[in-house]
Structure 1
Amino acid sequence: MLHDQLIICLATVSWDFLWQRHQELMARFAHANNRVLFVEPLGVRLPKWEDRKRIAARLRNRQRAGKRGVRQVMENVWAVDPLVNPFQQVTFIHQSNVRAVTRQLENAIDQIGGGTPHIWTYVATPLARNVIAKIPHRLLVYDCVDALTENPKGVFAAYAESEKMLSREADVVFVTSPKLLERQLPLNPRTYFVRHGVEYEKFANDDLTEPAALAPIPHPRLLFFGSLDERVDLNLLEWLAARHAEWQIVLMGVARTDISALKKFRNVHFLGQIAHEDLPAYLHHCDIFLLSYVRNRWIEHANPVKLHECLAVGKPIIATPMPVLDEYRDVLCVADSREMYEQGIVDALREGENLTMMEKRRARARENTWDARFAEINAVLEPLLTRS
C-alpha cells in the first residue's frame, strides 16, 4: 500500500464541493499517513456567467488560505487553489500559467514538508500536462472519471490531443465505466476499470432522524441529488411534475443551468446543496431515487457516484439509460422513454416496502465499498511502487 508518501492530486472539483471519488480516495491515502496536496481546478474551458457562484466560493477559499496559499482541510490533506488566467489557449498566457502554477505548487510542497511526489490527476489539459512535466515526481496516475471532450459545455480545443498524450505518459490509468475503458485501453495497456464505491455503513444506517428541511414535504418524495446542470433531463422532471401533482419531486444540489421552468410547480422542492455527512438522512426519508439524465455521448461514458449510495439505502431507483447501468437492471428500473419512466415510479410506489428487493440492492452496494475500491487500486499500484 502507498504510505508515508507525498501525493499531488490535480482535481476537477474543489475540496468543499460535492464529495465524490476525488475526496474519498485522497482521504484514504491521507489515513495511510500520506501527505496529500489537493490542487483545485485549473480549468478545462473558459468560464461562463453561470460559473460566477463557484468562482466566488473559490475566491473565498483563497482568502481563507491567506498568504501561505494552502489551507488544511483534514489531517494530512491540504488544498491549494492556484491563480490561473482563464484564457489558456493563448500561447504566452499558457506559458505564464505554467510558470505561475508550477511555482505555486512548489511553494505549497515546501510548506507541507517537501519531498518528491506521486502525481494523481483527474485533468488532462495542456496546462496540467506541462505543470506535471515541470515537477519532478515518481508515479503518474491518470484517474479518468469523465469523457470531458464530450462535455456539452465544451473544453479547450487542445484537450483531446493533450488527454491522449497524458494517457500514454501515465504509469497507470484508472477508468470508471466500460465506455471509458474502450477509449483509454488502446492508449495505455496499464488501464484498469475501477468502479466508484460507497461508504456502506453510513448510507445503510436506518436509524436517522428526518431532516427539518424535508418535514413539511408530503410523501411520496421522489429525490434527485447532485449537480443540476446540462446532464440532467430537466424536461423529464418538468413533465412528471405536471402530470402528477401528488408526487413531490425533491431536488438537492447546486443549480448550474436554468431551472426556472421547474420553479413554477408547487410539487417541486429545491433544497440546495446538502453537506455530504447529512446526505444519508435525506435519502432515508425519501421514497424513490431518480437518476434522470439526458441521452448523449457525455452520459454514455458516465458512471454516477450516487449509484451505490442509493443502493445502500435500499429504496427503488428509476433511471434513464446509460451503459454502466446495464448490469444493475436486476436492482433498479432503467426506462427507455418518459412513459416507461413514469410507469417505473408508479410500479415502485404500488410495490411499497419490499424487504427482499431492499436486501438485494444493499447486497450490491456491500460489494462496492470505497475501502474495497481503495484496496483494488493499491493492488495495481504496489508493483509499480517497487519499480519506481
Structure 2
Amino acid sequence: MRSIALVLDHLLCSGEPEMTLTVNRNMLPARQTEACDGVVWCGNVDYWYHNRGHSSVRMAVRLAKRGMPTLWINSIGMRMPVPGRTEIAWSRYTRKLGSMLRGLRRDPETGMWVYSPLFVPKYSPKGIELNGRLLAWQIAVLRRWLGMKHASAVVSMPTMGPAVERLNWTRTVFERCDDFGSMPGADHATIAPLERRLVTGSDVVIYVNEGLMEAERGLSSHAELIGHGVDFERFAQERPEGRPPEGPRPNALQGLPRPIIGFYGGMDDYRMDRELLVRVARHAAARGGSLVLIGPAQMDLSSILAEPNVRHIGQMPPNDLPAFAAHFDVGIIPFLRNEFNESCNPIKIKEYLAIGFPVVASQLPAFDPYDGLIEQATTHDEFLQAIDRALLDDTAERTRARRATVAEDSWDRVTDRIALLLGCPPSAEGADASAIF
C-alpha cells in the first residue's frame, strides 16, 4: 500500500505547477489570485443514483448552466456497507459499481461533467489518506483535460478533503451541509478530524444550519450562513388555489383515498423514524386515508409497506416532484430526533411551504424559524395529533402565509453567493467577484 501511495505522489508532483502536493497537510493551499476558470465539486451524493434534489447538486448544476465549467466528483462515502449490519448493503455495492463503470460523462441536460472516481473502500485514517492521493491524481488529470488551470473547489464530503488538500486552487469552499462526525455508523474519531481540517483550512466554510455554525464560530477564517433556495414558482403553480388539484392525478397516485399524508426525499435509516411511519400509516388508515412515500429507498421499508394503505413511488427527477406532492393533504418530515439530524436543514421544508399544504415535522432546530406555520412534534403521539390539527388548517389564508415566508428564497440567489465565494467571473448582473474578500 505504501508503494502505491509513493507512485501516486510521484505522478501528482510531476504535473503542472498548480497541481503540486502541499507541504502543510493541515492547511489547504493558499488561493491563487487568478479568476476562477472552473469548479470542481467534491460531492456528498452520487449523481447517477442519489436524489438530485440535494442542495449541492442544485448549486452545481446552476453553475454549469451559467457556462462555468463544472466537474462533479461522485461521493466516495464514509463507511463500508456490511451485509447483515448495513441495510440494503448488496444494493449499495451494485449501485456504486454501476456508477464507477460510467467513468467521466457529461450530463446533456445541464452541461455538467460527472466523474465516478476509483477509490479503495477502506475508511481507516490510512485508507482515507491513500484515497486522498488516488483521488487527487484523478482530479489533476481531469482538470488538465478540461482546461481548468485556475479551478476553485467545493468539498461536501469530508473523506474527499485529503484529495483537495493536495492540489492548488483559486479558492476552496467547505460546504458544511451536515455534521457527518455525528452520523450513525460513521467513525467519529476518523471523520470529525477531517471536518476540523476543512473548517480551519478552507478559504470559506458555508453552513445551512445556524446552530452548527455557532458551534464552530471562530474556527474558520470566513464563515457564511447560506441556507437553501426553492424553485418557488415551480412548486406554487401546482396548487394555484391552495387546494389539491381538481384534475386527474398522476398514474402512480390513482385510486388512493384521501386524506393523503405524504413525504418525499431520500429515506435513510439514520434519518427516518421507521416506527413513526408505521404509526402514521395506521393513523391515516383509521381516517380512511393513505400514506405516500416518494423517493429512493436507502433503508428497509418492508415494515412500512406491509401496511395496506401505503404506496411507495421510487426516485423521480426533482422537476416532477411538485406535480405529485401537490396532491398531499399534509406533508410530513418524520425524522429521528438524533444528534445527526439536529444539524440538518432539509430542503423540502421550503418546498412544502411553497406548495402551501399543512406541514407536520419532528421537532428539530432547522424548523424553528417556521414556528406558527408548521406543526412540530417531539413524540409519536404528538405527531399523530398534529396531523389531525393540520388537516383542519388547510385554508387559503394559511396557504398564503406559508408561501410568503419562502417566496423570495430562490436557488439563483443562493448560487450567486456561491459563485462570488468561489471567485467566479461576474454574472450578467455585474456582480463584483472580488467583493467577498
Aligned-residue offset at 1:257:
2.3
For 2:65, the aligned partner's letter is: H
Q: C-alpha separation between the residues in 2 aligned to 1:327 and 1:386?
A: 29
Structure 1 residues 344 and 147, CA, compared in 2 at 3 Å: closer, same or farther?
same
Work out whether 1:53 is the aligned partner of 2:91: yes
Equivalent residue number for residue 85 of structure 1: 120
Work out whether 1:227 is the aligned partner of 2:266: yes
Q: C-alpha separation between the residues in 1 aligned to 2:36 and 2:197?
A: 30
Aligned-residue offset at 1:365:
1.8
Structure 1 residues 96 and 380, CA, compared in 2 at 3 Å: closer, same or farther?
closer
Work out whether 1:347 is the aligned partner of 2:386: no
What is the DSSP-based 3-state SS (H/G/I as helix, E as strand, rest coil) of the residue aligned with 1:270? strand
Residue correspondence of structure 1 range 165-244 to structure 2 within 5 A: 165-206=197-238, 210-230=249-269, 231-244=271-284
- Out of 64, 78, 84, the position equivalent to 1:44 is 78
Segment of structure 1 superposing worse, 140-149 or 266-275: 266-275
Equivalent residue number for residue 428 of structure 2: none
Q: C-alpha separation between the residues in 2 aligned to 1:6 and 1:106?
A: 13
What is the DSSP-based 3-state SS (H/G/I as helix, E as strand, rest coil) of the residue aligned with 1:239? helix
Aligned-residue offset at 1:124:
1.9
Structure 1 residues 135 and 83, CA, compared in 2 at 3 Å: closer, same or farther?
same
Equivalent residue number for residue 373 of structure 1: 414
What is the DSSP-based 3-state SS (H/G/I as helix, E as strand, rest coil) of the residue aligned with 2:267? coil
Work out whether 1:268 is the aligned partner of 2:318: no
Aligned-residue offset at 1:237:
1.6
Q: Kindly name which structure, 1 or 2, has the bigger radius of gyration based on alpha carbons.
A: 2
List gaps (5 residues or longer) in structure 2. Answer: 1-33, 240-244, 424-431
**Contact 1:227 1:255 (C-alpha < 8 Å) held by counterparts:** yes
For 2:115, the aligned partner's letter is: V
Q: C-alpha separation between the residues in 1 aligned to 2:79 and 2:188?
A: 5
Structure 1 residues 150 and 202, CA, compared in 2 at 3 Å: closer, same or farther?
same
Segment of structure 1 superposing worse, 50-59 or 247-256: 50-59
Structure 1 residues 343 and 111, CA, compared in 2 at 3 Å: closer, same or farther?
same
**Contact 1:39 1:81 (C-alpha < 8 Å) held by counterparts:** yes
Equivalent residue number for residue 248 of structure 1: 290
Structure 1 residues 131 and 142, CA, compared in 2 at 3 Å: closer, same or farther?
same
**Contact 2:261 2:291 (C-alpha < 8 Å) held by counterparts:** yes
Q: C-alpha separation between the residues in 2 aligned to 1:198 and 1:158?
A: 34
Q: C-alpha separation between the residues in 2 aligned to 1:374 and 1:236?
A: 35
Work out whether 1:306 is the aligned partner of 2:348: yes
RMSD: 2.3
Deviation by residue 1:70-90 (Cα, 9 ceiling, x = unmatched)? 100144410111111111326
Aligned-residue offset at 1:94:
4.4
Aligned-residue offset at 1:186:
2.7
TM (norm. structure 1) is 0.90
**Contact 2:232 2:407 (C-alpha < 8 Å) held by counterparts:** yes
What is the DSSP-based 3-state SS (H/G/I as helix, E as strand, rest coil) of the residue aligned with 2:197? helix
Aligned-residue offset at 1:372:
2.3
Residue correspondence of structure 1 range 16-27 to structure 2 within 5 A: 16=48, 17-18=50-51, 19-27=53-61
Work out whether 1:292 is the aligned partner of 2:292: no
**Contact 1:229 1:256 (C-alpha < 8 Å) held by counterparts:** yes
**Contact 1:3 1:29 (C-alpha < 8 Å) held by counterparts:** no
For 1:217, the aligned partner's letter is: L
Q: Aligned residue pairs: how many?
A: 379
Deviation by residue 1:220-267 (Cα, 9 ceiling, x = unmatched)? 110011122221111112123234422211111222223222122111
Structure 1 residues 14 and 270, CA, compared in 2 at 3 Å: closer, same or farther?
same
Q: C-alpha separation between the residues in 1 aligned to 2:61 and 2:177?
A: 17
Equivalent residue number for residue 145 of structure 2: 111
For 2:298, the aligned partner's letter is: R
Segment of structure 1 superposing worse, 200-209 or 132-141: 200-209
**Contact 2:355 2:403 (C-alpha < 8 Å) held by counterparts:** yes
What is the DSSP-based 3-state SS (H/G/I as helix, E as strand, rest coil) of the residue aligned with 1:14? coil
**Contact 1:139 1:171 (C-alpha < 8 Å) held by counterparts:** yes
**Contact 2:132 2:161 (C-alpha < 8 Å) held by counterparts:** no
| Identity level (%) | 26
Segment of structure 1 superposing worse, 237-246 or 282-291: 237-246
Structure 1 residues 80 and 358, CA, compared in 2 at 3 Å: closer, same or farther?
same
Q: C-alpha separation between the residues in 2 aligned to 1:176 and 1:90?
A: 27
**Contact 1:51 1:256 (C-alpha < 8 Å) held by counterparts:** no
Deviation by residue 1:254-309 (Cα, 9 ceiling, x = unmatched)? 22223222122111111122221210111111211011111111111111111111
For 1:367, the aligned partner's letter is: E
What is the DSSP-based 3-state SS (H/G/I as helix, E as strand, rest coil) of the residue aligned with 1:157? helix
What is the DSSP-based 3-state SS (H/G/I as helix, E as strand, rest coil) of the residue aligned with 1:342? helix
**Contact 1:225 1:252 (C-alpha < 8 Å) held by counterparts:** yes
Segment of structure 1 superposing worse, 100-109 or 50-59: 50-59
**Contact 1:6 1:116 (C-alpha < 8 Å) held by counterparts:** yes
Equivalent residue number for residue 357 of structure 1: 398
**Contact 1:139 1:385 (C-alpha < 8 Å) held by counterparts:** no
Equivalent residue number for residue 7 of structure 1: 39
What is the DSSP-based 3-state SS (H/G/I as helix, E as strand, rest coil) of the residue aligned with 1:213? helix
For 2:276, the aligned partner's letter is: L
For 1:236, the aligned partner's letter is: L
